[in-house]
Amino acid sequence: MKRTDIKRRPLSDTVLANLDPEEKEYRELDGEGLYFRVKPDGKKAWLFRYKKADGKWSWLGIGTYPELSGKGARKKASEIVKDISHGDNPIITKQERNRQELEQNNATFEILAREWLDTKVNTWVNDTMTRNKGALEKHIFPVFGKRLYTTIKPIEWMNHLQGIQQKLGIYEQVNRVRAMCRDIYDYAKVTGRIDYNPLEGIQKYLQQGKKENMAHVSEQELPPLLRAINNYPTLDVRIGLQLLAMLFCRPSELRGAKWDEFDFDNAIWNIPEERMKKRREHVVPLPTQAIAILNELRSFETDSDFLFPSRSDKSKPKSDTVFIMALRRMGYEGRQTPHGFRHIASTLLNNRGFDERHIESALAHVKDGVAGVYNKAQYLQDRTNMMQWYANYLEEIADQSIIQFKKFQ
């Protein structure tokens, strides 16, 4: 519809919806200072024209169309006319009105963040969700949680994040928290609630800590570590550490393992997709040594679905610190982490000439899409042979020397 075809004002809904764009932007009067703007790309919005205190005319954006209807725009325009008649600055009153509207809708940063976390339920495994939610609750919500997210300025974010880095010395962790908060604002932006992200560019002004590498011993130090594990006095923790070393799975995958995931007849551990970092089912071939210690663990009835149930609640797995604390008791604090067994296996297997594709598949570092599914099936027999070789190798380099455990001070 051409604007020359407009017959009456205020503009009807039909006119608003069908006005054609032109080579240049144009505005059509709706009435009482309210204008309807049409851009060359077809985007439409509402503007209000008013006279400032210095006598000069100015424009005030009211909202975009069709998000803001003609009826809604006229209501806002009448509020602006009323503000001006009372001597108020229409820009300030508009901002205050928006703030009150957001407040009434509980538009705080914490509510926005928790809404964003809900979008990650099918993307993150439970441990990742717990860790990231805990970081927000510890470092962000106490300061910004109750604030309206539209009112928090970039300088406030930068000062707060820099303050955490300086006070606690946790540089890489703060950068991860910063990335989450940036994503939270991106979520608000794509859902039409904000126009800009206050955390954009802040990473340039935060200290960048060294990328954390999961501590692990060298190949020469591995035999004493294996001996320490084989002689650990707590049976289920000892078996858990042995499996971590032998299967080099992620610690969260083992802690949350349930008995019904294991096919003992075919020597296979099927980890369901909801427990995997990449949200894809992962198959782990079990060497004979793993079958033996799993049967040893199974002989001790725990009345739990979990291989490693919590002592206080059999319906939950052990704490994520259980293996960390065990390695600490053996004197390996800062030298070996549960996740570090993956680094050891990757290095050893690559150095022994095993196919990198088989190693990456065993580590669940598979390609996305059809190729990843195909490779999982293609490499299963190769991975079975590789896993058995690795279990045999670990068994060969370990002996039964008794070690003394360190006591906590």
- Residues taking part in catalysis: 250, 277, 339, 342, 365, 374
Give the integer Cα–Cα distance in Å for 129 and 135. 10
Closest to 323 in 3D by CA, of 408, 221, 229: 229
Residue 64 to residue 42: CA distance in whole angstroms: 12
Q: How far is CA 5 from each of CA 15, 47, 66, rounded to the nearest angstrom?
A: 9, 21, 20
What is the SS3 string spanning the chain?
CCHHHCCCCCCCHHHHHHCCCCCCCEEEEEECCEEEEECCCCCEEEEEEEECCCCCEEEEEEEEECCCCHHHHHHHHHHHHHHHHCCCCHHHHHHHHHHHHHHHCCCEHHHHHHHHHHCCCCCCCHHHHHHHHHHHHHHCHHHHCCCEHHHCCHHHHHHHHHHHHHHHCCHHHHHHHHHHHHHHHHHHHHCCCCCCCCCCCHHHHCCCCCCCCCCCCCCCCHHHHHHHHHCCCCHHHHHHHHHHHHHCCCHHHHHCCEHHHEECCCCEEEECHHHCCCCCCEEEECCHHHHHHHHHHHCCCCCCCECCECCCCCCCECCCCHHHHHHHHCCCCCCCCCCHHHHHHHHHHHHCCCCHHHHHHHCCCCCCCHHHHHHHHHCHHHHHHHHHHHHHHHHHHCCCCCCCCCCCC
Closest CA to 244 of 341, 174, 101, 147: 341
